[in-house]
Structure 1
């Protein structure tokens, strides 16, 4: 059964909470609400109906509570802003509009605790609940401490946890003390601390520490979930008396954490106007969300299926989903499979957990572990099962072997192959079997790579010294660098001694926790920018600066030994001009060779280099079009003068360079114009007779046709148009 919680927040909204203190630029109320909003938004994100929340405003301008209505004194300026119940986004937005500074300051914090305690007693009755009251105040209003003993006794009797967090409260453990504190605040702070000291379960702290700890990610503690309850067998008990059968229970040991998924929403249409269209229908009003003054609603997708029917209006007819068959793509063909045929391919399985073999510890490679870890224990209150499973665990441990089992969680589910590791309880006095799923043959991809310590020549010779192999100096430099960057003892523990720099319990998934942080921030403040990621999430994203300075000598030594050089950035094509990559030496090669970079004519003998040279120095589209025209004439002449197919390959290579260069210059239209005319000339026999082999074997097969929009952003040619153009 899910755990039940009832939490009441008491928020001081008095006049003094609107002031700023101790160098802060935000008011005490805004500073305090950082903690409150974070806790409430976490409850909303959990979306559990058993986690209930109530909110009380202290020092409000009006009064709204049960004690005041029944005629009791001392409960003025205390208002119940939200009764205890499940928290939703809508109620969060409504509550946000009610939390604002008031103009009063006469409420009693002890009385507000009594109101909260009454709310919890009425709501939870005698049921099993985790009860909690959280009071947030700056203690600037008078507190009547005459009934502190009685209130503390009632809190202990109802088993309510009391958390009092004060703005600028003194905290010796945290290291904070407010200077020039008023006498009234000192007296009130002492009264609240006295109340906490008399409670069995209470916390007293300062708001600065609470806000600082909000950046620490919250680890979600999962309750044990029983995935399997049945027999663990070795052999078939229905056929053989010697078969082993143990009643076991399997639980999840580890579970993969994922980032919260996104939900598609639309702006909810005005009910006074036209309703939602047929293609987009909204879900029930319970799923409506208000964000930043805009009302959103969830989206329900509706699919319709049509088939060609010349007799139907518009040439298409709607068909029911039940009348469709599943189709699977096989190459370019869609193969339909009916439900009756599909049932043949489905593996019929029954619930079971059967050991099918054993493997020694030494023959198993841990890197093939897949998925989440489970734990197998004997059935509770079953001594026979406990003894049998204990015997199996100790036997596996003594022979140093793992068990391999076929696992089917329930009837009809896909089977898994699990590796069972014995835990005999020698170190932790807990006997169990840990399991991890193993891959099937189809899940394993074996790749072979050349060895890293030698080079094999084509003649079979083995070379241990080669330009691709590290030298002795490089190995030593790398070894020194690795030793210098060692993090295992770079951290410092509480006693100032070396410790592990990045312990596993301080490593958090930045994707998950950053996403949750952003969602909570956006839920509370829809229009405010999301703050930067918490420092604790980025703590280990970069090596520590002090370690880099310490290892600076080894780093430079490694760079020099390995001859590491910066690779120049690849030149990006620009419309009408193309930047060239300068050599590392800085020399002008063309000038040294006496070649002019302003060549305007392309010779057939050196067409490709000269064509690229002109494009590299082109300053306008006219120059590019002129060069493309010259290259096109050379291609046409090669095809015309070719004896049979002798010059087809050369013509195709010139055409490929022309195509690629024009794409990089974002001028595919120039190439498109030329290739359309070239196709017409080839198929009509204008280029020296039948040249269709050039078209099909070199242009179509070489993918030298039209430039599609997938190849160039400025092209308007679709894939279908390009395919149609390739056909004669």
Structure 2
């Protein structure tokens, strides 16, 4: 179970926070709220009910708190009591946390009020307690020594963490010092620094806190065991000499995936949610209506219907219940059904276990055999006998340079897996690292020809060929690879060579960029997302210094490989183009002028003949005739297709037509043909039900040619979407 946390943010919203300093383009308030919003939205995104947040406003125009009767707590407003914050609360806070018109309010009184809130909420329960004060250090602060000692004693006694972040506070370690600082701010800053140090808290400048927001924060995951049982060598039920150790299995590495998008629909003014094809609005108290930009959204869920062919049913299909269906497994393009009774017979009845089945020398194991994520196996924490036994096994494998091969079943009824257990011995920690091994069906062996020789059909070995690299090319490539080496490119503070891309400094751009965009849009729904932080783009390309050093080697490689720039592909070509003259000086087309001007395209060799016909076309009528013939051939192939046997051929023909007519700048001909083809398919005029053919056309992106593909087309992208969606 994750630790419980209670955090109170004290935000200075005084009039002085509405000004700009140090050449910043935004006010001190907006600059400081970057940090506050980032921290709050990070907690909201977790969805944990044990992460409680409270927000106090310091130097507000009014007063609203539990101790408001005391004048010392004037101009302090409770914006959010300590509780779990959800998106509606976040939107409300965005509207109420704004700069005020006064600078009256005591920061120490706000800290006392935060302590009172935490004690009232957490009592004596186990919580991580934190108070975060964000202020510019201006205005009056009560520095009474007697009350200050009581505050320090209470914070330290209840294990609270005090964090003070100041606008333009001096920080020698970070390297910032504000020039011409007002005397009152200097006094307040020194007082807050002394208070924080006596509370063993954190005192810092806001510049460093805002700068570090771009650095992704690694989320600490509390591991959950996936197996708890025995690790055996031999059968303990049959032999007294068998080895049995009580162990636990925890994940070591897991794939972190970005969050997926959720589906919502817009509720109508009448209160009834609008529906779209294939979705049903989820009703009930468990579905949360979400208010955004004045529109109410609600969750949706998919609804599935199952049909089978039935000539007697209306439309030729009959609805069936899911329970009446049998599972099917794909074998190539064939679906093999299996009933529940047959599946129960073939299913292996397994019991949870982890059994060592053999050992393998370390040098005989190939690292590429490891599959999926890895786990660790440790002894039960409270079982001293198991700890000693597993430690003996780990050290035996370590000293013999050997791995153990085991069979694991995570729980009763699960599929068994083969795993490799390798020892890991560190200074104060030891365990077995588990990697999944492949079965014979998981191994795919591919044979590739050698890159340093060519073996002819007769068995002759050729080492010099136009497709083989020369010695100069191989040496140039080797030199270029050496120049691009980044393993020792970086330099530390002492100037020593080090690794450029350390594992702990490399972050997933997709994962963390999406998280940053979510946090930004949660509080700024109408503002554009800021650019990608430099820390995520740092390793997206080679360092400029490295590129400069490797440029001479690259030039030698280009020369050795005879690299030439490929001319850009011409999107369109004129109909009345001149054919390229062959080197022989003979024009092959002139030799066949005796053939009919409009040759008939055969269905057996349609694509080459279609291209040849377009190449010989002299006017638009010739092109129209060729397109008309191809359309007739395609319709006949669909009509005569047994199932989907001719669909791949039709897709290839449509692709060629689309490409050729785009280059000829005649997209209208293709669009007209496709519109007519869709009408006939939907009307079932091409041999009955052929909707699968239309879905294949859409899936292979063979829809209408729009203006983006051809400048002479009159079809927009919106019209293409409507054409694809229309039935």
TM-score (norm 1): 0.81
Residue ranges of structure 2 left out of the alignment (5+ in a row): 600-606, 632-651, 678-695, 706-714, 716-727
Partner SS state of residue 534, structure 2 = coil
Q: Verify the 8 A CA contact 1:235 1:355 in the aligned structure 2.
A: yes
Write out per-residue CA displacement over residues 329-350 of structure 1, whole angstroms, 9 at most, x where no aligned residue.
5566655433222222322211
Spell out the pairing of 1:246-265 with structure 2 (5 A cutoff): 246-265=245-264
Compare 371-380 and 98-107 and name the one that shifted more: 371-380
Partner SS state of residue 537, structure 1 = helix
Partner SS state of residue 194, structure 2 = helix
Compare 562-571 and 524-533 and name the one that shifted more: 562-571
Larger Rg: 1
How far did 1:602 drift? Answer: 7.8
Q: Tell me: CA distance 1:577–1:238, structure 2 relative to 1, closer, same or farther (3 Å).
A: farther
Q: Verify the 8 A CA contact 1:658 1:671 in the aligned structure 2.
A: no
State the match for 2:387 in structure 1: 386
Q: Verify the 8 A CA contact 2:265 2:274 in the aligned structure 1.
A: no
Measure, in 2, the Cα distance between the counterparts of 1:443 and 1:260.
29
Partner SS state of residue 66, structure 1 = coil
Compare 654-663 and 543-552 and name the one that shifted more: 654-663
State the match for 2:32 in structure 1: 32
How far did 1:138 drift? Answer: 1.1
Partner SS state of residue 535, structure 2 = coil
Spell out the pairing of 1:620-639 with structure 2 (5 A cutoff): 621-622=620-621, 624-625=623-624
State the match for 2:474 in structure 1: 475
State the match for 1:130 in structure 2: 128
Q: Verify the 8 A CA contact 2:349 2:413 in the aligned structure 1.
A: yes
Q: Verify the 8 A CA contact 1:283 1:298 in the aligned structure 2.
A: no
Equivalent of 1:143 in 114, 127, 141: 141
Write out per-residue CA displacement over residues 420-461 of structure 1, whole angstroms, 9 at most, x where no aligned residue.
0123x3x52433211111112211111011112222111112
Spell out the pairing of 1:702-721 with structure 2 (5 A cutoff): 710=700, 712-714=702-704
Superposed CA RMSD in Å reads 3.8
State the match for 1:121 in structure 2: 119
State the match for 2:547 in structure 1: 548
State the match for 1:514 in structure 2: 513
How far did 1:12 drift? Answer: 1.0
State the match for 2:372 in structure 1: 371
Write out per-residue CA displacement over residues 347-401 of structure 1, whole angstroms, 9 at most, x where no aligned residue.
2211000011111111110012112221112222323222322222232233322
Q: Tell me: CA distance 1:315–1:124, structure 2 relative to 1, closer, same or farther (3 Å).
A: same
How far did 1:228 drift? Answer: 1.8
State the match for 1:297 in structure 2: 298
Measure, in 1, the Cα distance between the counterparts of 2:614 and 2:248.
73
How far did 1:590 drift? Answer: 7.0
Measure, in 2, the Cα distance between the counterparts of 1:672 and 1:37.
52
Q: Verify the 8 A CA contact 1:602 1:631 in the aligned structure 2.
A: no
Measure, in 2, the Cα distance between the counterparts of 1:41 and 1:75.
28
How far did 1:316 drift? Answer: 6.8
Measure, in 2, the Cα distance between the counterparts of 1:315 and 1:610.
39
How far did 1:121 drift? Answer: 0.6
Q: Tell me: CA distance 1:505–1:654, structure 2 relative to 1, closer, same or farther (3 Å).
A: closer
1:16 equivalent in alignment to 2:16: yes
Measure, in 1, the Cα distance between the counterparts of 2:611 and 2:255.
54
Q: Verify the 8 A CA contact 2:166 2:204 in the aligned structure 1.
A: yes
How far did 1:660 drift? Answer: 7.3
Partner SS state of residue 280, structure 2 = coil
Write out per-residue CA displacement over residues 203-232 of structure 1, whole angstroms, 9 at most, x where no aligned residue.
111111111000001111222322222111
State the match for 2:689 in structure 1: none
Spell out the pairing of 1:645-664 with structure 2 (5 A cutoff): 661-662=660-661
Q: Tell me: CA distance 1:606–1:470, structure 2 relative to 1, closer, same or farther (3 Å).
A: farther
Measure, in 2, the Cα distance between the counterparts of 1:561 and 1:366.
35
1:82 equivalent in alignment to 2:80: yes
Partner SS state of residue 9, structure 1 = strand
Q: Verify the 8 A CA contact 2:674 2:703 in the aligned structure 1.
A: no
Q: Verify the 8 A CA contact 1:663 1:712 in the aligned structure 2.
A: no
Write out per-residue CA displacement over residues 16-69 of structure 1, whole angstroms, 9 at most, x where no aligned residue.
11111111111111111100010011001111111110111111111111111x
Q: Tell me: CA distance 1:466–1:152, structure 2 relative to 1, closer, same or farther (3 Å).
A: same
Q: Verify the 8 A CA contact 2:287 2:298 in the aligned structure 1.
A: no
Q: Tell me: CA distance 1:228–1:450, structure 2 relative to 1, closer, same or farther (3 Å).
A: same
Q: Tell me: CA distance 1:151–1:304, structure 2 relative to 1, closer, same or farther (3 Å).
A: same
State the match for 1:531 in structure 2: 530
Measure, in 2, the Cα distance between the counterparts of 1:291 and 1:413.
44
1:495 equivalent in alignment to 2:494: yes
How far did 1:469 drift? Answer: 2.0
Q: Verify the 8 A CA contact 2:230 2:354 in the aligned structure 1.
A: yes
How far did 1:498 drift? Answer: 2.2
State the match for 1:44 in structure 2: 44
Q: Verify the 8 A CA contact 1:165 1:207 in the aligned structure 2.
A: yes
Q: Tell me: CA distance 1:217–1:660, structure 2 relative to 1, closer, same or farther (3 Å).
A: closer
Measure, in 1, the Cα distance between the counterparts of 2:541 and 2:618.
44
Measure, in 1, the Cα distance between the counterparts of 2:167 and 2:654.
76
State the match for 1:395 in structure 2: 396
Measure, in 2, the Cα distance between the counterparts of 1:310 and 1:105.
82
Q: Tell me: CA distance 1:279–1:23, structure 2 relative to 1, closer, same or farther (3 Å).
A: same
Count, aligned residues: 654
Q: Verify the 8 A CA contact 1:10 1:136 in the aligned structure 2.
A: yes
Residue ranges of structure 1 left out of the alignment (5+ in a row): 583-587, 633-652, 676-706, 717-728
Write out per-residue CA displacement over residues 182-207 of structure 1, whole angstroms, 9 at most, x where no aligned residue.
2222222122112112112x111111
Measure, in 1, the Cα distance between the counterparts of 2:653 and 2:27.
72
Write out per-residue CA displacement over residues 654-700 of structure 1, whole angstroms, 9 at most, x where no aligned residue.
9998897458654347989999xxxxxxxxxxxxxxxxxxxxxxxxx
State the match for 1:62 in structure 2: 62
Compare 311-320 and 352-361 and name the one that shifted more: 311-320
Q: Tell me: CA distance 1:138–1:711, structure 2 relative to 1, closer, same or farther (3 Å).
A: closer
State the match for 2:644 in structure 1: none
State the match for 2:634 in structure 1: none
How far did 1:151 drift? Answer: 1.6
Measure, in 2, the Cα distance between the counterparts of 1:487 and 1:594.
56
How far did 1:528 drift? Answer: 0.9
Write out per-residue CA displacement over residues 51-93 of structure 1, whole angstroms, 9 at most, x where no aligned residue.
110111111111111111xx32310010111110112111111
State the match for 2:100 in structure 1: 102
Measure, in 2, the Cα distance between the counterparts of 1:179 and 1:671.
75
State the match for 1:362 in structure 2: 363
Measure, in 1, the Cα distance between the counterparts of 2:469 and 2:499.
31
Q: Tell me: CA distance 1:185–1:711, structure 2 relative to 1, closer, same or farther (3 Å).
A: closer
Q: Verify the 8 A CA contact 1:572 1:578 in the aligned structure 2.
A: no
State the match for 1:684 in structure 2: none
State the match for 1:638 in structure 2: none
State the match for 2:340 in structure 1: 339
How far did 1:515 drift? Answer: 1.1
1:419 equivalent in alignment to 2:417: no
Measure, in 2, the Cα distance between the counterparts of 1:670 and 1:598.
33
How far did 1:407 drift? Answer: 0.7
Measure, in 2, the Cα distance between the counterparts of 1:179 and 1:57.
28
Measure, in 2, the Cα distance between the counterparts of 1:192 and 1:230.
54
State the match for 2:452 in structure 1: 453
Q: Tell me: CA distance 1:115–1:422, structure 2 relative to 1, closer, same or farther (3 Å).
A: same
